[in-house]
């Protein structure tokens, strides 16, 4: 009997073990295959055929689109306008064109807000920076021998230098007669300033900021801001030369050594002076617009100080660009030197080049030369004596070439080319025409409005071709 019971229990136990084994095979007999996250520290491996819990998906960081910049920015002078307080309706029409077209405006020097155009200009659609024309490289002396009331003009501020033989720390003398060093182009009224003198540089900024600004009545400034709105200092004759390039009537004396200036000393003083201006400008949110004339660009790659100077100012005016001051187009050598200097400023320096523009065909030559190097929103074209026609202004302000896709390069030793996303820029600074240039598609010539698939560039011309 006991044996029978033992057999039954043994058979039951075997049945239970068999059932358990079958259940085990059913549940665990399939291979364990990770579908994701089989590594330590994750949510645990999942079994093939089960529904995995998805891992969080990281939010992709998009590559930022290149910032959009205007293809053409314009800087203008408002010298042709009378004082704001005496303007008539016709003057306001001209002023409206300037303030709605020009990012920078340089006004004439006026002592009162009622006369100054900057508040009105900066209330327009385009003008961002505006300030008075003023000199920095020299002081103007009037016909009666007194030095000007401002750095370029008449008045009584420089009474401490009431005659040309006084020892004034702001006017450089020669080492013989101690007379102010005059400009070498027959302009004896232009006296060289001591830009190494911190007091001079602080005066230059103070006089700008502290000019009287109370109008005779608020009616005189109707349509403008009531408070003075200027945020630009124009530094005319911003240079570092002694006698080179037809500079001054004699070698100036260094007031800190009482001996003739060495060029290296002049370079150091000019750099130290503009660093004072830079620090002062940064305190007030003011930009520095330096007229580099031809001194800086002609020696830009020869003397290290010029690149250093271009790291202290915000804008650098090439008052000579594709033409010289008298009008003839420059040689290819000079043109190329200026283009390369402007390119280095754009790529490597704080300063943004502002290049001379002239109405007519020369406008497109100068503008195309600028677009060979402009990028990142740096680079403007400047109109001093005349503002382009409304048609040309519209063409420039509505031009959208996108961004450059390459640096400029010389093509078959005949013309210079640079491609933008939506434009081709071509310039011929040489003395002969290049022959026909195939464009590989239809383009609109910005100057003429014509549709072209090829173009011939005459000597000293440029073309801005917009893809259709």
Q: How far apart are CA 203 and CA 197, in angstroms?
A: 10
Provide CB contacts within 8 A for 115, sequence distance 6+.
Answer: 83, 84, 85, 86
Judge contact between 111 and 154, C-beta under 8 A: no
Mean pLDDT calculated for residue range 89-98? 94
pLDDT at 420 over 80: yes
Q: What is the CB neighbour count within 10 angstroms for residue 279?
A: 13
Query: What's the CA dihedral at 88, 91, 93, 95 to 10 degrees?
Result: -130
End-to-end Cα spacing for the chain: 108
Query: So what's the pLDDT on residue 203?
Result: 78
Query: So what's the pLDDT on residue 282?
Result: 95
pTM over 0.85: no
Mean pLDDT calculated for residue range 325-333? 88
Mean pLDDT calculated for residue range 178-205? 76
Residue with the bigger pLDDT between 8 and 187: it is 187
pLDDT in tens, 355-395: 999 877 789 999 999 999 999 999 999 998 789 999 999 99
pLDDT at 43 over 50: no
Query: So what's the pLDDT on residue 434?
Result: 82
pLDDT in tens, 58-84: 554 544 444 579 999 999 999 889 988
Query: So what's the pLDDT on residue 296?
Result: 81
Query: So what's the pLDDT on residue 193?
Result: 84
pLDDT in tens, 115-163: 888 888 998 999 999 998 877 887 765 544 444 434 444 333 333 444 4
Closest-CA residue to 71 (of 345, 371, 346, 390):
371
Q: How far apart are CA 338 and CA 344, in angstroms?
A: 10
Q: Which of 179-183, 219-223, 250-254, 306-310 has the highest mean pLDDT?
A: 306-310
Provide CB contacts within 8 A for 354, sequence distance 6+.
Answer: 75, 104, 289, 315, 316, 317, 318, 379, 380, 381, 382
Query: What's the CA dihedral at 158, 163, 164, 166 to 10 degrees?
Result: -80
What is the CA angle 361-366-370, rounded to 5? 145
Query: So what's the pLDDT on residue 146?
Result: 43
Please report, rounded to a whole number, the percentage of residues in the chain having pLDDT higher than 70. 71
Token duo for residue 166 = 């006084």
Mean pLDDT calculated for residue range 324-338? 90
Q: How far apart are CA 79 and CA 132, in angstroms?
A: 10
Mean pLDDT calculated for residue range 181-203? 77
pLDDT at 21 over 50: no
Query: So what's the pLDDT on residue 229?
Result: 65
Closest-CA residue to 346 (of 300, 282, 293, 394):
300
């Amino acid at each position: 009997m006991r044996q029978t019971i033992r057999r039954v229990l043994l058979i039951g136990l075997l049945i239970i073990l068999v059932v358990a084994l079958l259940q085990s095979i059913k549940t665990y007999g399939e291979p364990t295959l990770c579908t994701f996250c089989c590594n330590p520290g994750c949510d645990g491996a999942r079994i093939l055929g089960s529904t995995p819990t998805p891992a969080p998906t990281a939010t992709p960081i998009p590559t930022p689109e290149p910032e959009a910049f205007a293809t053409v920015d314009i800087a203008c002078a408002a010298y042709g306008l009378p004082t704001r307080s005496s303007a008539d309706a016709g003057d306001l029409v001209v002023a409206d064109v300037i303030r709605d077209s020009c990012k920078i405006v340089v006004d004439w020097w006026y002592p009162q807000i009622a006369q100054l155009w900057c508040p009105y200009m900066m209330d327009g659609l385009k003008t961002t920076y505006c300030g008075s024309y003023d000199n920095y490289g020299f002081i103007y002396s009037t016909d009666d021998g007194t030095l000007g009331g401002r750095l370029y003009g008449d008045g009584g501020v420089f009474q401490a230098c009431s005659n040309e033989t006084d020892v004034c720390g702001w006017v450089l003398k020669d080492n013989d007669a101690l007379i102010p060093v005059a400009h070498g182009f027959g302009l004896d009224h232009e006296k060289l300033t001591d830009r190494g003198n911190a007091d001079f540089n602080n005066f230059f900024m103070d006089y700008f900021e502290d000019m009287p600004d109370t109008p005779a009545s608020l009616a005189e400034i109707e349509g403008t801001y009531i408070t003075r709105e200027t945020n630009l200092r124009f530094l005319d004759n911003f240079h570092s030369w002694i006698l080179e390039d037809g500079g001054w009537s004699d070698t100036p004396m260094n007031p800190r050594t009482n001996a003739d200036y060495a060029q290296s000393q002049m370079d150091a003083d000019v750099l130290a002076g503009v660093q004072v201006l830079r620090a002062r400008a940064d305190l007030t949110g003011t930009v520095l617009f330096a007229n580099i004339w031809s001194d800086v660009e002609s020696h830009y790659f020869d003397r290290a100080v010029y690149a250093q100077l271009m790291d202290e100012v915000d804008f650098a005016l090439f008052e000579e660009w594709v033409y010289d001051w008298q009008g003839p187009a420059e040689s290819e050598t000079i043109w190329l030197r200026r283009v390369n200097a402007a390119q280095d400023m754009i790529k490597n320096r704080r300063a943004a080049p502002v290049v001379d523009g002239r109405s007519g065909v020369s406008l497109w030559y100068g503008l195309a030369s600028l677009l060979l190097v402009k990028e990142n929103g740096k680079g403007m074209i400047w109109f001093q004596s005349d503002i382009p026609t409304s048609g040309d202004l519209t063409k420039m302000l509505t031009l959208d070439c996108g961004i450059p896709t390459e640096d400029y390069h010389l093509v078959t030793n005949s013309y210079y080319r640079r491609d933008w996303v939506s434009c081709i820029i071509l310039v011929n600074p040489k003395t002969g025409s290049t022959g026909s240039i195939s464009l590989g598609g239809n383009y609109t010539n910005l100057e003429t409005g014509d549709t072209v698939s090829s173009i011939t560039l005459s000597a000293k011309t440029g073309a801005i071709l917009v893809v259709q």
